[in-house]
């Protein structure tokens, strides 16, 4: 079946391989990997590729995506990775086995809802060890847990933290050590089991690689690394992972030699920005049928290093192809790698078709 452009080409074998590398690395240090599916809208083919790579526990920030996992007959447990909204506790109890939490009021509501539905729900209490996104401050943890323990519809499974997202704080032996110490304190003072200490996402992998992960950390929630082979927070490519699982492809609809500075008086562009240009003389430019309505264009990098993206609008992407040795004509297809933001938008976009390579690896699974 031919793919309609623009399309996101997804290599399931590379995703399964990456998953397997990460799962094995973490398993050797007693760490379970949750497969984070929010970066690709929980597309079932990709979820199954992660399953083949060894993931048995999936996590997503959206209840819609968790419902999709269930619809696609993927077995739980499922963790909700965004703090539940008070208005959505019924759905959360229905679709998620576990959720991350930081508000006592919400934990209380989850408990009542779970009791009324005859279900039980597991809670990971998020602790803020510095990034200043979600989580309670460590010194408040014991008090919140004491209150939560009275609510029998929920059980406290563990504590966790998130890093590198808002404040860009890097996970370290020191701040994850703080989480570990807090876990030990909670167990000692409250006499509870607290089996899970969840130490972050892709940015925490570096500590596993360096053998510096505090030993009590026994869960990581990984998306970016498995999907893209990158670790944006630490600004690195992960050397043992493949970075070509996703390629965005778009079609050329105009090619022209034009000056590099627009002619006429310059106002604002279509998005209210004042553009700024450098005079590089006459350049050969290709216009692609791809724009901001399709994808986060700032997250694209041409696979051909001799090409540069000059800019784009809602529906058009303009690429300088002067230095490329590729034979570019009308109808040619140009390939891009995507960062996390571009992956997120491309998989969400109804305008971008998805085509899969190595679909045959799914022959064993009920898709
Ligand atoms: C998105 C998310 C992750 C996964 O992060 P990656 O950097 O993609 O590995 C982990 N935990 C939480 C709470 C998240 O929202």
Percent of residues, the chain, with pLDDT higher than 70: 99
- CA dihedral (356, 357, 361, 367) in degrees, to 10, reads 10
* Distance from residue 227's CA to the centre of ligand 1 (Å): 12
Q: How far apart are the C-alpha atoms of 197 and 220, rounded to whole Å?
A: 9
* pLDDT for position 272: 82
Residue 66 host element (H or E): helix 63-71
* pLDDT for position 2: 65
* pLDDT for position 247: 98
Residue 355: pLDDT above 70?
Answer: yes
* pLDDT for position 260: 87
* Distance from residue 46's CA to the centre of ligand 1 (Å): 17
Q: What is the mean pLDDT of residues 301-330?
A: 97
Strand partners, 248: 8, 336
CB neighbour class for 79 (10 Å; exposed up to 12, middle 13-18, buried from 19) = buried
pLDDT tens digits, one per residue of 194-218: 999 999 999 999 999 999 999 999 9
Mutation pick for ligand 1 pocket among 36, 55, 81, 222 (CB with most ligand atoms within 8 Å): 36
Residue 366: pLDDT above 80?
Answer: no
Token pair 């509870």: residue: 192
Token pair 């006459």: residue: 282
Question: Of 24, 38, 174, 292, which is the active-site residue?
Answer: 38
Q: What is the reported pTM?
A: 0.94
Residue 1: pLDDT above 60?
Answer: no
- Taking a C-beta distance cutoff of 8 angstroms, is the pair 128, 175 a contact? no
CB atoms near residue 132 (< 10 Å):
13
- Taking a C-beta distance cutoff of 8 angstroms, is the pair 313, 292 a contact? yes
Mutation pick for ligand 1 pocket among 201, 207, 235, 238 (CB with most ligand atoms within 8 Å): 201
* pLDDT for position 71: 93
pLDDT tens digits, one per residue of 251-278: 999 999 999 888 888 778 877 888 788 8
Q: What is the mean pLDDT of residues 289-304?
A: 98
Q: What is the mean pLDDT of residues 82-108?
A: 97
Q: What residues are in contact with ligand 1 under a 6 Å CB criterion?
A: 36, 38-39, 61, 81, 100, 162, 201-202, 221-225
* Half-sphere exposure of residue 283: CA atoms within 13 angstroms, side-chain side: 24
pLDDT tens digits, one per residue of 57-91: 999 999 999 999 999 999 889 999 999 999 999 99
Residue 284: pLDDT above 60?
Answer: yes
The verdict on whether 38 is a catalytic residue reads yes
Selected residue with higher pLDDT from 249 and 130: 249
Residue nearest to atom 14 of ligand 1 (CA): 81
Give the number of the atom of ligand 1 that is nearest the alpha carbon of residue 231.
7
* pLDDT for position 194: 97
Residue 131: pLDDT above 80?
Answer: no
- Whether the upstream peptide bond of residue 6 has omega within 30° of 0, thus cis, is yes
Q: How far apart are the C-alpha atoms of 309 and 147, rounded to whole Å?
A: 54
* Distance from residue 40's CA to the centre of ligand 1 (Å): 12
Give the number of the atom of ligand 1 that is nearest the alpha carbon of residue 203.
7
Tell me the longest C-alpha to C-alpha distance in the chain: 74
Q: What is the mean pLDDT of residues 184-188?
A: 97
Residue 47: pLDDT above 60?
Answer: yes
Considering the chain, what is the average pLDDT of its residues?
Answer: 95
* pLDDT for position 167: 74
Mutation pick for ligand 1 pocket among 35, 40, 166, 221 (CB with most ligand atoms within 8 Å): 221
């Amino acid at each position: 079946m031919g793919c309609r452009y623009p399309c996101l080409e997804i290599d399931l074998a590379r995703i399964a391989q990456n998953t397997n590398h990460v799962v094995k690395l973490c398993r050797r240090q007693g760490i379970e990997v949750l497969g984070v599916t929010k970066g690709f809208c929980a597309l079932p083919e990709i979820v199954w590729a992660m399953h083949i790579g060894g993931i048995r526990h999936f996590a997503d920030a959206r209840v819609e995506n968790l419902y999709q996992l269930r619809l696609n007959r993927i077995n739980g447990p499922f963790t909700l990775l965004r703090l539940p909204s008070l208005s959505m506790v019924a759905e959360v109890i229905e679709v998620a086995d576990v959720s991350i939490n930081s508000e006592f009021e919400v934990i209380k509501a989850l408990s009542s809802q779970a009791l009324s539905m005859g279900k039980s729900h597991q809670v990971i209490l998020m602790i803020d060890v510095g990034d200043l996104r979600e989580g309670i401050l460590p010194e408040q943890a014991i008090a919140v847990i004491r209150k939560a323990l009275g609510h029998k519809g929920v059980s406290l499974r563990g504590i966790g933290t998130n890093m590198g997202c808002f404040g860009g704080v890097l996970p370290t032996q020191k701040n994850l050590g703080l989480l570990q110490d807090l876990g030990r304190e909670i167990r000692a003072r409250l006499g509870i089991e607290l089996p899970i200490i969840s130490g972050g996402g892709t940015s925490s992998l570096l500590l596993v690689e360096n053998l510096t992960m505090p030993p009590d950390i026994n869960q990581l929630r990984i998306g970016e690394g498995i999907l893209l082979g990158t670790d944006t927070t630490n600004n690195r490519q992960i050397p043992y992972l493949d970075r070509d699982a996703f390629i965005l492809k778009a079609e050329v609809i105009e090619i022209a030699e034009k000056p590099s500075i627009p002619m006429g008086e310059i106002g604002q562009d279509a998005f209210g920005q004042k553009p700024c240009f450098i005079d590089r003389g006459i350049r050969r430019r290709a216009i692609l049928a791809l724009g901001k309505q399709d994808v986060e264009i700032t997250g694209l990098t041409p696979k051909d290093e001799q090409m540069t993206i000059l800019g784009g609008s809602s529906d058009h992407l303009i690429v300088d192809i002067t230095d490329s040795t590729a034979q570019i004509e009308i109808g040619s297809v140009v390939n891009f790698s995507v960062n996390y933001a571009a992956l997120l938008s491309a998989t969400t976009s109804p305008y971008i078709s998805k085509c899969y390579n190595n679909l045959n690896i799914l022959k064993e699974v009920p898709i």
